[in-house]
Structures are given as structure tokens and as C-alpha cells.
Amino acid sequence: MSEFINVAGIFGENVFNDSVMKERLPKSVYKKLKQTIEDGSELDPSIADVVAQAMKEWAVDNGATHYTHWFQPMTGVTAEKHNSFISSPDSNGKILMELSGKELIKGEADGSSFPTGGLRATFEARGYTAWDCTSPAFLKKDATGVTLCIPTAFCSYGGDALDKKTPLLRSMEAIDKQATRIFHLFGHTEVKRVVPSVGPEQEYFLVDRAKYLQRKDLVYTGRTLFGAMPPKGQETDDHYYGVIDERIGAFMKELNEELWKLGVTAKTQHNEAAPAQHELAPIYAIANLAADHNQLVMETMRKVSQRHGLACLLHEKPFKGITGSGKHNNWSLSSDTGVNMLDPGVTPHENIQFLLVLACIMKAVDTHADLLRQSAAVPGNDHRLGAHEAPPAIISIFVGDQLEDVINQLCCTGAASHSKASGTVKTGVTTLPDFDQDTTDRNRTSPFAFTTNKFEFRMVGSSDSVSAANVVLNTIVAEAFKEAADTLEQAEDFDMAIHDMIKELFEKHRRIIFNGNGYTEEWVEEAARRGLPNLKCMVDAIPSLVTEKAIKLFTDFGVYTKAELLARAVIEYEAYTKTINVEAKTMLDIAGKQIIPAVIRYTTFMAQSINTIQKACPYADVSVQTDMLMEMSKLLGEMKAAMNELEKNLEMSTHFEDMEQCAHYYYDAIVPAMDHLREPADKLEMLVDKSYWPFPSYGDLIFEV
């Protein structure tokens, strides 16, 4: 029987949170630190020593021996360098445990060994980590012991952002300033701060670890590069929301406990659409904290799964032919007075502030659709987007019937006189209660959908950080808010000016609205007629980062410098080519060392069997065996030819010096060559005796967990 868990008792126990700070810090220091965290005011460096001492004592009291500046470089994972608390022995030879304010505020890491895109030369090694006091420190407990993790930003010697946190914090400051101006336009001068809130839903697969370790493709690349579909996939939809298996349930239970201790508000868990696929969703948090927490979620999933003999797959498409995984980024804006800017109220046609916010967001998404698409560009997402399981690569906005009707009224008549009311759902069963219907249905095919009081950006890949998506969302909306506020603050007749602005924005940008089925080919054609960009792959999306429009946007708001944008484009191209290069080499390794030898052993066995039968019975009919032998031999020949093609293309790729050209070559030549190699191999898997096949099949992986 499962042991009782006191959630309230363990929640946040490994976090240097507000209650710990209030208990351990002097009142004056606590007040100053709290002001920085809540108001975004500048950190007073004079309190650093006091905070560091309290943080160290709390950590040591909980068994910590080391501390680390925990940061998020451009690798997509977190990084940490551990230092013990011990200092030089005193005159009596006694070791002291110390953490100074200087050590808390600033650390140093090698700034050249991480992806920099040219911001750092290989011989220039110094990089700095800077304490982010808005994200609380926490304790990590694992085989290394207990470590105090201090969330930090990571920058170069010259101050260039080398991480994902710094631009996110900059973008949060940008939208805070401009959204506050919008509130003040409507007389809400009590609003001092606006923060973006984010709730990232995390999808993932769990497979048996022993079988995982037998698959070099999963170990090296996170996805299966070979694999034939089993007789049953997800056709019957019996896994979705199904009863959670005992082994998976034990994993989820421990995962929740570990996350709760870290202050992560893990709330929802269920089986997802594909066999062996699951989802975890937290309660919303401030964007910066939500991004940190999501990194902890992914890291904790990997660790806990190992303890249960499982492997957690976070790749966007670990199995060809099986629904892949995404990360829905739920985004909204809230004031320090508790008002959600995206709450339309009961009568949205009368909520002028909401209509202005909606119109500005429409403008932002329409103007910068390419950037929003790029923010979700990782190699794994190329296998998922537009595959009738995830949003299309075309950015559009779903607003639902009620808001679309209000927009149409304003565009057609110049005024909105009513809002469609929600109805009541009647089940037709007397004993079941009637309940209020939402104002609109959800649209799972939309990449950017309005859902009651937030927007759900459904493009983000399951392995990706949510930082990039929220950097773009915050900045493009800040730009739209600024342009609106600049005009309205100078208006002589505010009511007339805002009415005209909302109507104009709706008319100009209503092309971005699409409430229909985004999976259809008709929508692709319609989007092209509307002039909406269709960036089908990561390589096509990367240039969006360095257009004149993007450079002006990000530099105007201080989110990225031009150099940082150019560097990120290089990093993205490198990430793509390196990912595909590893996959291609892994395919060659598996094909040459595992699949082909296994097929040769089996065909040799079959040939010997045919020979034995013919010797024992010269008139026996061995045509079936012979046909199968010939078919496998033919497929072996196709595999060898495909291997030669892939090897040749990989050799050609070494001749490119320009990273953009090289990335395009990988997409245009290497990826198709990989497909050519996979096709005969997957056919052979269906012909070769299972006992000869060198690694677990799809069926073994997704149905035998």
C-alpha cells in the first residue's frame, strides 16, 4: 500500500523560499531583497553578504557540502560547477564553511566551451554567472550529496548574453514597462508592475531502460532511427487518459514528490495519446520561474525514471508513425493588483481594455509570425509540426466564436453591440447536473489559441526550453503595446482614438485569425493566399532571427544586441547540423554493425535450410523460402547502396565553411539519404525472425513497459 504523503508538509522543503528568508534574514535585509524580487528594483549589493551567510547556513543545516551557480547555456540543458563551502583552515586547523556575498553574486565559468556563435573566441575563456534573486535557490540531492543551486544568468567577459535566462529577464522588463502603460491609459495608476505568467505542459515517453540501452539510436540521439510499426499503434485510443499502469504510477508518485520538494507545482498527470506517452502540467508561475521549473521538471524526470528501471524520452518524435511530444506554453499577463489582462469578462464587446490588448497581440503575432515560428525551431520539431498530431508550421490565431463575432462586428459596422453568450450543457440524464458551457470550443490544431483567459502556444518542442518562445512573445507584444500607448497618450479624444485604433488593428490583422482545422491541405492553400509565412523546417526558420525587422525589434527593447542575434543564428545552424550529423553517423553504425550482420546471419540460415530441404526431398516446393530469401537479399542491396549514398553525402558536408549553407545541405541531402537507408531496413525487420533482430522493436518498447 502506498505511504501517506503530506504534500503541504514537503512542498518547497528544498527551496530557499519566502518563508525561509523571512525566518533567517534580518527584517531590513529581507525587506530590501523582497522589494527587488517583487518590484523589479535594483538589487542592493550591501545585503549580499548577509543573504549569502543565511543561505549557506540553511543549506548546511540541510546537509549541503557544495554550492553551484546553476545556469542555462545555449546547449538546451542546464550547467553547474560545484564548489565546496570549505575555506582555508584557521590557526587551529579547523575547517570553516563559508559563502561570501561576492561568491553568491558572481561566479566564473568557461565562456568559450559552451556554444557562443562567435561571441567568444576559443582562447577567451572567461565567462560570468550572475545571481538571479527572482528565482529562489534550491537544494539538489543526488549521488554527489546535497548541493545548493543558485539560479544565475550567464554572460561573456564583455557582457553578451550566453544563456537563455538573460534575454528572458530582459523581455520581462520590456513587457512590464509597456503593459503598465496600457493599464495607466485606462486610469489604473495603482498598477506598478505587470508580469507574464507561464504554464508549460510537458509531454514525454517512458520505456523500459534495459530495452532502451539496447537501442544505440535512442542512447545517442533520443529517437529511433529505425523501426517498423507494430500491428497495433494508437488506433484504438485506449491509452489516452487510460488507467495509469502500476509501474508508471510509482514513477509519477516519486516524480511529484521530488518536484513538490523543489517548489514546482506539479498538478496534472495523465496518459497521453500515444502508447507509453504521458503528460505533466504545473500551475502557472512567473515566466522566469516557470522556465527554471520546466528545466527542473525535465531533469527530474530523467533521474527518477532511472530509479524505476525506465528511460524518459523527451525527443519530439522518438517513434516514427507514433504521435510525438510537444510542450504547450500557456501565456498570460497579470498586474501586481491581480488583474489578468487577457480576461475578457462576461461581455468582452464592452471590455475596451481587453479588446485593445487582443488587437495588439493580433498585430504582434501577425507582424512577427516568422519569429514566433523560429522560437519553436529545434531539430526534433521538424518531425512533428504539420504532421496531423501537432500544429501546422503556419502561425495563426484561434480566438473562438465569441471573440471572432465581436471582431467581425467592429470590422463590419464599426461597433460591437453584443457578445455571444455561452449556453448550458445538458446531458439528457436526470441525475447528472447541467453545467455552464465555455464560450468556445478548444481548437487542438491551432498553434496559438486563445483559451478563456490566456494564449496557448502549442508549437514548443518537448525537449526545448520555454525561454525562447516567451522571449519572443514578451517582446513582440511589448512593441505592439508601446506603439499603441505612444499614440493614445497623445490623443485629444481618448475614447474616439482607442475605438479607431482597435477597429484598425482588427481590420489590418484579422488575416491571422483561423478557427478551422489547421491539419487540412485547404488551410495551407488558404494561408498562402493570405500571405502568411509557412516555414516548414528549422533551417528555413533560423533567418528570421537576423532580419532587419527582428534586429530593430530586439535592440529597441534591449532584449538582444545585434551581435547576440547573429551569434544565436550561428548556434542554431550548428545545432541543426550537429544533430543530424550524429543521427546520420548513428544510422551508419547501426546498419553496418547490427542490422546487416543480423540479416546476413538469418539469410544464411534460410539458405542452409533450403539446401537441407532440397537434399532430403529434391521435389519439395521451396519457392516461398526462395522468394523470401531473394527479397531480403534485394533489400540488403538497397541498404548497402543507401549507406554508400549517406556516407558520400556526409563526406561532401565537410566541404562547407558557411554554417547556413551547410545546414541547408544537411536538410536537402543528408536527411533524404537517411530516409533512403531507413526504408529497406524497416522492411527487413518485418521479414527477419525476431530472434535474429539485433534490438528491441517498437512493440517491445511502447507496449512492454
Q: What is the DSSP letter of 656?
A: -
Task: Give the contacts of 340 (CB within 8 A, at least 6 positions apart).
Answer: 332, 333, 334, 453, 454
| pLDDT (0 to 100) of residue 428 | 78
> Domain of 631: which CATH number?
1.20.120.1560
Mean of the per-residue pLDDT values of the chain: 93
Q: How far is residue 454 from each of residues 342, 353, 479, 480, 509, measured CA to CA in Å? A: 6, 15, 19, 17, 19
* 400-436 pLDDT, tens digit each: 888 888 888 888 877 887 887 777 777 778 777 877 7
> What integer is the mean pLDDT of 16-24?
96
Q: In terms of domains, do 317 and 331 share one?
A: no
Q: Is residue 184, in this structure, part of any structural domain at all?
A: no
Compute the distance between CA of residue 29 and CA of residue 586 in angstroms, rounded to an integer. 55
Phi-psi region of 318 (alpha: psi -120 to 50; beta: other; left: phi over 0): alpha
**DSSP secondary structure string, 52-88?**
HHHHHHHHHHTTEEEEEEEB-BTTSS-B--EEESB--
Q: Is residue 491, in this structure, part of any structural domain at all?
A: yes
> What integer is the mean pLDDT of 58-83?
95
> Domain of 56: which CATH number?
3.10.20.70
Reply yes or no on whether the pLDDT at 297 is more than 60: yes
Kindly report the pTM of this predicted structure: 0.95
Q: Do 356 and 229 contact (CB within 8 A), yes or no?
A: no
Single residue among 275, 290, 325 that ends a domain in this structure = 325
| pLDDT (0 to 100) of residue 444 | 79
> Domain of 267: which CATH number?
3.30.590.10
> What integer is the mean pLDDT of 580-608?
97
Q: With pLDDT > 70 as the criterion, what percentage of the chain qualifies?
A: 99
Three-state SS annotation for 655-686:
CCCCHHHHHHHHHHHHHHHHHHHHHHHHHHHC
Domain that holds residue 147: 11-166
Q: In terms of domains, do 507 and 402 share one?
A: yes
Q: In terms of domains, do 146 and 269 share one?
A: no
Task: Give the contacts of 691 (CB within 8 A, at least 6 positions apart).
Answer: none
* 434-487 pLDDT, tens digit each: 777 776 667 778 999 999 899 999 999 999 999 999 999 999 999 999 999 999
Compute the distance between CA of residue 206 and CA of residue 274 in angstroms, rounded to an integer. 11
> What integer is the mean pLDDT of 662-683?
97
Residue 157 CB coordination number (10 Å): 15
> What integer is the mean pLDDT of 120-141?
90
Q: Is residue 274, in this structure, part of any structural domain at all?
A: yes
Compute the distance between CA of residue 651 and CA of residue 655 in angstroms, rounded to an integer. 8
CA angle centred on 459, ends 201 and 527, rounded to 5°? 145
Q: What is the dihedral of CA 149, 153, 154, 160, to 10 degrees?
A: 180
559, 402, 542: which is closest to 478 by C-alpha?
559
Q: In terms of domains, do 126 and 116 share one?
A: yes
Single residue among 532, 564, 594 that ends a domain in this structure = 532
Work out the widest C-alpha separation in the chain, in whole angstroms.
104
309, 325, 252: which is closest to 704 by C-alpha?
309
Q: Which position has the grid cell 538469418?
A: 602
Q: In terms of domains, do 292 and 334 share one?
A: no
Q: Is residue 611, in this structure, part of any structural domain at all?
A: yes
Q: In terms of domains, do 276 and 376 share one?
A: no
| pLDDT (0 to 100) of residue 1 | 44
Q: Do 56 and 147 contact (CB within 8 A), yes or no?
A: no
Helices (H) and strands (E) in the chain, counts: 24, 17
Side chain identity, residue 280: L
Reply yes or no on whether the pLDDT at 396 is more than 80: yes
Domain count, the chain: 4
> What integer is the mean pLDDT of 126-140?
94
Phi-psi region of 687 (alpha: psi -120 to 50; beta: other; left: phi over 0): alpha
Q: In terms of domains, do 527 and 639 share one?
A: no
Compute the distance between CA of residue 698 and CA of residue 224 in angstroms, rounded to an integer. 9
Strands (E), 343-454: 397-398, 424-425, 435-436, 448-450
Three-state SS annotation for 124-156:
CCEEEEEECCCCCCEEEEECCEEEEEEEEEEEE
Q: How far is residue 98 from each of residues 29, 50, 651, measured CA to CA in Å? A: 19, 12, 54
Compute the distance between CA of residue 443 and CA of residue 399 in angstroms, rounded to an integer. 9
| pLDDT (0 to 100) of residue 91 | 65
Q: Is residue 135, in this structure, part of any structural domain at all?
A: yes
Q: In terms of domains, do 59 and 87 share one?
A: yes
Question: Between the ranges 92-96, 102-106, 641-645, where is the mean pLDDT highest?
Answer: 641-645
538, 570, 544, 524: which is closest to 671 by C-alpha?
538
Single residue among 477, 497, 532 that ends a domain in this structure = 532
Q: With pLDDT > 90 as the criterion, what percentage of the chain qualifies?
A: 80
Cα 173 to chain centroid distance, Å, stands at: 22
Q: Which position has the grid cell 498598477?
A: 191
Q: In terms of domains, do 259 and 369 share one?
A: no
Q: Do 275 and 233 contact (CB within 8 A), yes or no?
A: yes
Q: Do 117 and 573 contact (CB within 8 A), yes or no?
A: no
Q: Is residue 511, in this structure, part of any structural domain at all?
A: yes
Q: Is residue 194, in this structure, part of any structural domain at all?
A: no
**φ, ψ dihedrals at 392, nearest 5°:** -70, 165
Q: Do 602 and 688 contact (CB within 8 A), yes or no?
A: yes
Which helix (H) or strand (E) is 332 found in, with range? strand 327-335
Range in 51-65, 124-138, 408-422 with the lowest mean pLDDT: 408-422
Q: In terms of domains, do 494 and 633 share one?
A: no
Side chain identity, residue 319: F
Residue 5 CB coordination number (10 Å): 12
Side chain identity, residue 496: M
β-strand 145-156 against 64-70: which pairing, if any? parallel
Q: In terms of domains, do 498 and 361 share one?
A: yes
Q: In terms of domains, do 299 and 417 share one?
A: no
Q: Do 646 and 662 contact (CB within 8 A), yes or no?
A: no
Overall size of the chain counted in residues: 705
**φ, ψ dihedrals at 175, nearest 5°:** -75, -30
Which helix (H) or strand (E) is 563 found in, with range? helix 562-590
Between 443 and 136, residue with greater pLDDT: 136
β-strand 138-142 against 106-110: which pairing, if any? unpaired
Q: How far is residue 643 from each of residues 227, 244, 635, 637, 688, measured CA to CA in Å? A: 17, 42, 12, 10, 20
Reply yes or no on whether the pLDDT at 526 is more than 70: yes
Q: Do 501 and 359 contact (CB within 8 A), yes or no?
A: yes
Q: Do 337 and 188 contact (CB within 8 A), yes or no?
A: yes
With 0-12 / 13-18 / 19 or more C-beta atoms within 10 angstroms meaning exposed / middle / buried, residue 178 is buried
| pLDDT (0 to 100) of residue 90 | 67
Compute the distance between CA of residue 358 and CA of residue 364 in angstroms, rounded to an integer. 10
Q: Is residue 120, in this structure, part of any structural domain at all?
A: yes
